[in-house]
Structure 1
Amino acid sequence: MPHAGGPAKVRHMIQNALSVDVEDWFQVGAFERTIRRADWDGLTHRVERNTDAVLDLFAQAGVTGTFFTLGWVAERYPALMRRIADAGHEVASHGYDHARVFTFTPDQFRADLRKSRAILEDASGQAVTGYRAPSFSIDPRTPWAHTILAEEGYRYSSSVAPIRHDHYGWPDSPRFAWKPVAGSDLVELPVTTAKLGKRTLAAGGGGFFRLLPYQFSRWAIRQVNEQAGRPAIIYFHPWEIDPGQPRRTDAPLRSRLRHYTNLSVMAAKLRRLTRDFAWTRVDALADAQAALAP
């Protein structure tokens, strides 16, 4: 039996953040060169049914989380935003239409923030104070992005992946909460990583959670909770629990493998995750983590 102050107690006490990036199956980075934005409205939409399935899963597990939602989705499914808010979850911004931050000028980024926030707040009836960049696209190419988020009154960002990846990453950024703007209370809450020797491993969810054995994610979250004494920040997408979604054969093989592999096991893995750890909304962690942030 572990002693009273041992790892089991630490893991039980720490609340981790569970987050959902609300976008449809065709809005992902893997298909951005295959499917044109102009064609989105003509495709089969599954985001509402899939997000409702996530809401049911959360309700059954008794957990609350944060739903980083595209303005494009909220514009078309405002009742879904209200259901998310009414269930006790946080509605936060994922930008308007999944354009990566480094494709914007600073003025375009500010306009995107304002447009998506207005739509989300109108639909949900909730103040939007959190932001996650599409594809974790705040990185060294966008030194102005955090400043604009602070100026626009955001409380926190969860937009940086402190890893090396072929689609995104800022490997030299801190692994845990940090304040990117001098004189501002804005805190950056990076998605979770684990350490294996000198290597930093992606362990924040999404494709890594879906593709790798569950034991890896459990080990990574325990490492963050027990060794670092920090909460994990985990994310996934509603389309990841939908094995019946349309299949695109015109996308690159690597993109298809990443997108479609293990869709049928994702819901069961999420249920196990909600049982093994304690979970809350990202905004519930922001103030405490800001106090620890350099």
Structure 2
Amino acid sequence: MTCDVEDYFQVSAFAPYIDRASWPTRECRVEANMDRILALFERHGVRATFFTLGWIAERYPNVVKRIVAGGHELASHGYGHLRASDQSRAEFANDVRSSKALLEDIGGQAVLGYRAPSFSIGRDNLWALDVLLEAGYRYSSSIYPVAHDHYGMPEAPRFAFYPNGTDGLLEVPITTVHMMGRNLPAGGGGYFRLLPYALSRWMMAKVNKDDCQPALFYFPPWEIDPDQPRPEGVGAKSRFRHYVNIDRMEGRIEALARDFAWDRMDRIFLNK
């Protein structure tokens, strides 16, 4: 189980409509949403990995401390939700090193995992994996083996793999189900909110049973917050993707917590 700790105004789909300079003045709802998520996980004995933005950690250090106190894994989502594909190698190196140091200073535990905003590592910037290894990360969850208009590397392996050999960085993709000649998203995002819950549950159970692999699920805190502010001027496609069935999401996360056994990524994939 993983959570990308970011707020509603930081998503890549809203970038054309929300000036980054306005972030500090916007209503930030991540603290209250994280309280609900951590309480839900505690009720069901879920331990998770939280890929946390440095921007959030810097302003809300108690969120980081509550993650660690709850027995969860603290991991990096970069500093300011800049897509890896939009950064030079030097810029990316600075981003992942500074966010790692910041999180470790606040959380008091080693940060071993990284997830690129919008799964923005793919065939054109695989050098980013070497940068992560050099910065001290052990694994990444940044390559999504699907075809998507914003991201995706459908030819990538569906399950955990070492892109550069076993002495390199471990890459752990979000869960997909291979059907009808393509990989279908089965581990979160808008598809999880759009599709009937029973179908999503079936796909994850299929991966467990038929592929003998753990399912990797993700969601951000804003997905359980139907009362979040709604920025003006956002295009219809982005509005649909962001808000579809958002009022049902918390109940679906609760169902996932009941229907499957969940743990942290470092324990499952690094045997920590």
TM-score, normalised by the number of residues in structure 1: 0.90
The 5 A counterparts of 1:182-197 are 182=165, 184-197=167-180
Does the 8 Å CA contact 1:150/1:181 hold for their aligned counterparts?
Answer: no
Is 1:163 aligned with 2:146?
Answer: yes
Q: CA deviation at 1:80?
A: 1.1
Larger Cα-atom Rg: 1
| Corresponding residue of 2:120 | 137
1:86, distance to aligned residue in structure 2 (A): 0.4
Match among 242, 252, 257 for residue 269 of structure 1: 252
Question: What do residues 19-75 of structure 1 show as CA deviations (whole Å, max 9, x unaligned)?
Answer: 000000100011011101100001011011111111011011111100000000000
SS in 2 for 1:194: strand
CA distance, structure 2, for counterparts of residue 160 and residue 119 of structure 1: 24
Match of 2:137 among 154, 164, 184: 154
Which residue pairs with 1:174 in the alignment?
157
Asked if 1:84 is matched to 2:60, the reply is no
RMSD, aligned α-carbons: 1.0
Q: Which SS does the other structure have where 2:40 is aligned?
A: helix
Letter aligned with residue 141 of structure 1: D
Given residue 129 of structure 1, which amino acid in structure 2 is its aligned partner?
A: L
Q: Which residue in 1 is equivalent to 2:198?
A: 215
AA of the residue aligned to 1:126: Q
Aligned mates of 2:131, 2:174 — CA distance in 1: 21
Contact 1:20 1:237 in 2 (8 A): yes
Question: How does 1:55-74 map onto structure 2 within 5 Å?
Answer: 55-74=38-57
Distance apart, 1:182 and its partner CA: 3.2
Equivalent in the alignment of 1:291: none
**TM-fit CA distance, 1:183:** 5.6
Return 5+ residue gaps in structure 2 as ranges. none
1:229 to 212, 226, 233: 212
8 Å CA contact 1:214, 1:269 repeated in 2: yes
Instruction: Give yes or no for the alignment of 1:242 onto 2:225.
Output: yes
User: Aligned residue for 2:267?
Assistant: 284
Amino acid at match of 2:15: E
User: 3-state SS of the aligned residue for 2:47?
Assistant: coil
Quote the residue 1:54 is aligned against. 37
Equivalent position to 1:101, from 84, 89, 98: 84
Structure 1 residue ranges (4+ consecutive) displaced by more than 4 angstroms after TM superposition = none
Distance in 2 separating the partners of 1:249 and 1:79: 31
Q: Relative contact order, CA 8 A, sep 6+: which one is greater?
A: 1
Amino acid at match of 1:114: R
Shift of 1:109: 0.6
Q: Deviation digits for residues 78-98 of structure 1, max 9, x if unmatched? A: 111001100000010000111
Distance in 1 separating the partners of 2:166 and 2:240:
44
| Displacement of 1:107 | 0.9
- Contact residue 100 and residue 135 of structure 1 kept, 8 A: yes
CA contact (8 A) 1:150 1:184 kept: no
Report the equivalent of 2:28. 45
Deviations 1:246-279 (A, max 9, x none): 0123110010111112111111111111111110
- CA-CA distance at 1:204 after TM superposition: 1.5
Q: How many residues align?
A: 271
Q: Secondary structure at the match of 1:233?
A: coil
TM-score normalised to structure 2 length: 0.97
How high is the sequence identity, in percent, across the aligned residues?
Answer: 52
Q: Which amino acid aligns with 1:69?
A: T
Contact 1:131/1:158 (8 A) holds in 2: yes
The amino acid that maps onto 1:261 is V
Separation (CA, whole Å) in 2 of partners of 1:34 and 1:268: 30
Task: Determine helix, strand or coil for the equivalent of 2:46.
Answer: coil
Q: How does 1:117-136 map to 2 (within 5 A)?
A: 117-136=100-119
